[in-house]
Amino acid sequence: MTDSLRINGKRLWDAIMEVARVGATERGGCNRQALTDGDGTVRRIFRDWCEQAGLTVRVDEMGNMFARRPGTNSDLPPVVAGSHLDTQPTGGKYDGILGVLGALEVIRTLNDAGVETLAPLEILNWTNEEGARFSPAMIGSGVWSGQFDLEYGHNRADKEGITIGQELNRLGYAGSEPCRPFPIRAAFEMHIEQGPVLENEGLTIGVVTGVQGMRWYDVKLFGQPVHAGTTPMEVRRDPFMAFHRILARLYELGSQHAPEARVTFGDISVVPGSRNTVPEELKLAVDLRHPEQSSLEAMDAGMRTIVQEEAERANLGYQVDDEWHSSAVAFDAHCISAVRGAVEMLGYPHREMVSGAGHDAVYVSHVAPTSMIFIPCADGISHNEAEDASPADIEAGCNVLLHAMLERANAD
Ligand SMILES: [Zn+2]
């Protein structure tokens, strides 16, 4: 039985602190953006540690790293776990790093205990998750999963015009492994929550069931610019006469899909923007989110109907521009139950939750059974040098990762 196995919390903590020295900032965070010298240094440290643990490291054409521990049945697809080692320019010590070094600690624990698994295990380090130096975010896992093609990935440039392809060559991480999916039995990503829910509820572990879907729009209303004093109200074509009804009805739409729906108006502008003239055009930024794709689509359709009805009622022209979207992700039932089973066996206080942020696990989930494990971070703060997580919570999260990986690796 392996139920009594526990990871070495101090060893994991020391590994996180050692990596945090590379690119350390004065205020206690890290600046180790993708494919900088600092990222190269940490990649070498990580590779050395993997090789010392007896793992075989492969690097693919996007610089993604895969470190493999054989199973007793080498025909089985591996159980994988990982995240990213790059940071924001004013990033913290834990975002991403926890998921990679936690997976390494799982391997070290199994090595110490002499425990073999049926399926092989692999640790992953995805290139440029943060999207801070090279846009977009999650480009390494995005190319790997087929979301973007390789040429697109290699040609992403930073502000100086230096491309990912050039930097991979310079650092020696333009690997020979094809950047494409291979069969995977189960994939896990342990991560700080980057929100306040676990901390506020006094919980240790989030069993992550999916990632919410998001849709961004610019809603435009076109009226007629006329004099504020001389034009009677009933003959005006005033975008604001529709705007206030649209706002009220969209909040109402959100409450029809409560409690998970999010409706946000983050920006508004009017043309010409003169105090004594009815606006000719009003532009409103709308952000709709929901963890269930069907609900998000219902909100999308409802929003379009509301804008059309209210624009017509106020005798206005209108336009709805789609700016960006990301579909809702429901994680794999077996992977979720492996995490839930591990948490219950270990006895940590927990809840199920949906991620409000994007992660490499979103792209991985397109091609492999996937789920995530969240641990609390202080005040929900992330992408910030003040980002903090407690040694006890980190240890707990890694124990959950260990037993979730064992369950999937040894399942029939
Ligand atoms: Zn991250």
Ligand 1 centroid – CA 108 distance (Å): 23
Q: Is the pLDDT of residue 392 over 90?
A: yes
Read off the pLDDT of each residue in 360-366 and give the average, rounded to a whole number: 96
Ligand 1 centroid – CA 191 distance (Å): 7
Residues of the chain with pLDDT > 70: what percent?
100
pLDDT at residue 226, as a whole number: 96
pLDDT tens by residue, 195-238: 999 999 999 999 999 999 999 999 999 999 999 999 999 999 99
Cβ contacts of residue 7 below 8 Å, gap of 6+? 105, 106, 108, 109, 395, 398, 399, 402
Ligand 1 centroid – CA 107 distance (Å): 21
pLDDT at residue 325, as a whole number: 85
pLDDT tens by residue, 248-263: 999 999 999 999 999 9
Q: Is the pLDDT of residue 401 over 90?
A: yes
Cβ contacts of residue 14 below 8 Å, gap of 6+? none
pLDDT at residue 169, as a whole number: 98
Q: Are 104 and 53 in contact (CB under 8 A)?
A: yes
Read off the pLDDT of each residue in 382-387 and give the average, rounded to a whole number: 91
Ligand 1 centroid – CA 316 distance (Å): 44
pLDDT at residue 339, as a whole number: 98
pLDDT at residue 383, as a whole number: 87
Mean predicted lDDT score pLDDT of the chain: 96
Ligand 1 centroid – CA 268 distance (Å): 30
Read off the pLDDT of each residue in 80-101 and give the average, rounded to a whole number: 97
Q: Are 349 and 205 in contact (CB under 8 A)?
A: yes
How far is CA 311 from each of CA 220, 240, 319, 381, rounded to the nearest angstrom? Answer: 10, 10, 10, 40
Measure CA 258 to chain center: 23
| Residues belonging to the chain | 412
pLDDT at residue 357, as a whole number: 85
**H-type helices in 257-369, by residue range?**
293-313, 333-346, 360-364
Ligand 1 centroid – CA 359 distance (Å): 6
pLDDT tens by residue, 44-79: 999 999 999 999 999 999 999 999 999 999 899 999
Q: Is the pLDDT of residue 1 over 80?
A: no
Read off the pLDDT of each residue in 145-162 and give the average, rounded to a whole number: 96
Rounded Cα distance, 307 and 61, in Å? 46
Rounded Cα distance, 9 and 12, in Å? 5
Read off the pLDDT of each residue in 21-48 and give the average, rounded to a whole number: 97
pLDDT at residue 412, as a whole number: 84
Ligand 1 centroid – CA 129 distance (Å): 7
Ligand 1 centroid – CA 96 distance (Å): 4
Ligand 1 centroid – CA 246 distance (Å): 36
pLDDT tens by residue, 278-336: 999 999 999 999 999 999 999 999 999 999 999 999 999 999 999 888 889 999 999 99
